[in-house]
């Protein structure tokens, strides 16, 4: 793929979704990231930035949870359908879509929207978790633990068939980076589908540089686009405390930057989302600030 994101405009879309998780507060994530000056940073880097504002998301108090093994299925499906349509338009305009969450269930719509007009998409999943559960394997029924499985075509038909096609991505073009908390059903699916997962053990042993080199090879092989789905809980809680499901022993601040810098240098990314920033659980907005710093690295910001 041609390295072209430096010539593109960037379109920001906020999705204040908190229906996919049990802990409240993640709906304020897009505002926290904006408050940490994401648009100003990207503008200083020379990009033409357009912010479309936030999609409307129902509040949990206004709706019944529905089936406990698929909480708020109808509402999450509806928001993701709108998100997919919005991103399809952004892609058609030739802009780089940058989505701010919100919980990780929004990846269902993000991936559907950016994959719709692509022949084959690669996917970088930066996360402490696999997000490969289904209604049958999920211990919580929270849909933010299911979007990667859904994108593979596994899950409830309303989610899987979003935007009118399935699957959105093939297992051989996916890498999961930073995994350290996987449910048994997810482990089974990873083995069954042959998904390349770089656990924290792999990062410790190989080093982030080699992990990203191998990841780039996987996600860019025979693909015409690459999406980055970055959950801030992929980072260590010491560096990103404001997340709903923190897991100790994560990727360091500097390792995270190296990953984003190498992805930027490779010129493979065509869309990105940053999710699960929860200001209620944060310290002085430092997790949103970390997100903005990583976004800067994605778009070419250098130390020197």
Asked whether residue 62 carries a pLDDT value surpassing 80, the answer given is no
Is 227 marked within a binding site? Answer: no
Domain map of the chain by residue range?
A: 5-298
Name 127's bridge partners.
none
Percent of the chain with pLDDT strictly greater than 70: 98
* Residues annotated catalytic, as ranges: 104, 127, 129, 131, 144, 231, 233, 276
pLDDT higher than 80, residue 163:
yes
Would the pTM of this model clear 0.85, i.e. be above it? Answer: yes
Query: Is the pLDDT assigned to residue 1 strictly greater than 50?
Result: no
Q: Is 207 left (phi over 0), alpha (psi -120 to 50) or beta?
A: left
Contact 128, 249 (CB under 8 A): no
pLDDT bin (cut points 50, 70, 90) of residue 84 is very high
| Nearest CA-CA partner of 269 in 124, 163, 156, 68 | 124
Q: Is the pLDDT of residue 2 over 80?
A: no
Q: What's the mean pLDDT in 31-37?
A: 98
Residue 78 burial (C-beta neighbours within 10 Å; 0-12, 13-18, 19+): middle
Structure tokens, 260: 């984003």
User: Whole-angstrom Cα distance, residue 191 to residue 187?
Assistant: 6
CA dihedral (148, 150, 155, 158) positive or negative:
positive
User: What H or E segment, with its residue span, contains residue 209?
Assistant: helix 208-220
129 is in an annotated binding site: yes
Mean pLDDT of 265-287: 98
Report in angstroms the alpha-carbon separations of 5 from 28, 31, 59, 270.
Answer: 28, 25, 35, 7
Q: Residue 78: which pLDDT band, with cuts at 50, 70 and 90? A: very high
State residue 192 phi and psi, 5-degree precision.
-65, -40
pLDDT top residue among 23 and 117: 117
pLDDT at 22: 85
Query: Could you tell me if 77 and 162 are in contact, meaning their C-beta atoms sit under 8 angstroms apart?
Result: yes
Where do the DSSP E strands lie in 45-184? 49-54, 96-101, 121-126, 174-179
- Between 8 and 67, the higher pLDDT residue: 67
Judge whether 232 and 291 are in contact, CB under 8 Å.
yes
Convert the pLDDT of each residue in 206-257 to its tens digit: 999 999 999 999 999 999 999 999 999 999 999 999 999 999 999 999 999 9
Is position 188 annotated in a ligand binding site? no
Other CB atoms within 10 Å distance of the CB of residue 48:
11
> Per-residue pLDDT averaged across 164-174, rounded?
98
Inform me whether the pLDDT recorded for 67 exceeds 60: yes
Pick the CATH number of 5-298 from 3.40.800.10, 3.20.20.70, 3.10.20.340, 1.10.8.60: 3.40.800.10
pLDDT value at residue 7: 56
d(CA 270, CA 122) in angstroms, rounded, equals 10
d(CA 89, CA 99): 14
Name the percent of the chain lying above pLDDT 90: 92
Residues 117-133, mean pLDDT to the nearest whole number: 98
**Has 233 been labeled as part of a binding site?**
yes
Instruction: State the average pLDDT for the chain.
Output: 96
Which has more pLDDT, 304 or 187? Answer: 187
Question: How much is the pLDDT for 255?
Answer: 98
Rounded mean pLDDT of 256-267?
A: 98
């Amino acid at each position: 793929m041609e390295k072209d994101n430096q010539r593109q405009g960037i379109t920001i879309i906020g999705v204040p979704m908190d229906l996919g998780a049990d802990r409240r507060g993640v709906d304020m994530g897009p505002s926290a990231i904006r408050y940490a000056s994401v648009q100003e940073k990207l503008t200083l880097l020379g990009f033409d930035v357009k912010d479309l504002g936030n999609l409307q998301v129902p509040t949990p108090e206004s709706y019944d949870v529905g089936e406990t093994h698929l909480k708020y299925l109808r509402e999450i499906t509806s928001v993701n359908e709108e998100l997919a349509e919005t991103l399809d338009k952004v892609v058609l305009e030739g802009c780089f879509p940058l989505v701010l969450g919100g919980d990780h269930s929004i990846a269902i719509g993000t991936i559907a929207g950016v994959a719709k007009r692509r022949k084959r998409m690669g996917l970088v999943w930066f996360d402490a978790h696999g997000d490969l559960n289904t209604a049958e394997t999920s211990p919580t029924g929270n849909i933010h633990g299911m979007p990667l499985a859904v994108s593979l075509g596994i899950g409830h038909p309303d989610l899987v068939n979003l935007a009118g096609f399935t699957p959105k991505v093939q297992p051989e073009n996916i890498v999961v980076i930073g995994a350290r908390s996987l449910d048994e059903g997810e482990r089974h699916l990873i083995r069954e589908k042959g998904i390349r997962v770089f656990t924290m053990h792999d990062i410790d042993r190989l080093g982030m540089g080699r992990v990203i080199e191998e990841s780039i090879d996987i996600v860019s092989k025979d693909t015409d686009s690459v999406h980055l789905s970055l959950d801030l809980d992929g980072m260590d809680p010491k560096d990103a405390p404001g997340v709903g499901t923190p897991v100790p022993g994560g990727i360091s601040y500097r390792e995270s930057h190296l990953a984003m810098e190498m992805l930027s240098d490779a010129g493979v990314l065509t869309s990105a989302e940053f999710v699960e920033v929860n200001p209620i659980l944060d310290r002085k907005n430092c997790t949103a600030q970390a997100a903005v710093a990583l976004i800067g690295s994605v778009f070419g910001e250098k130390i020197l």
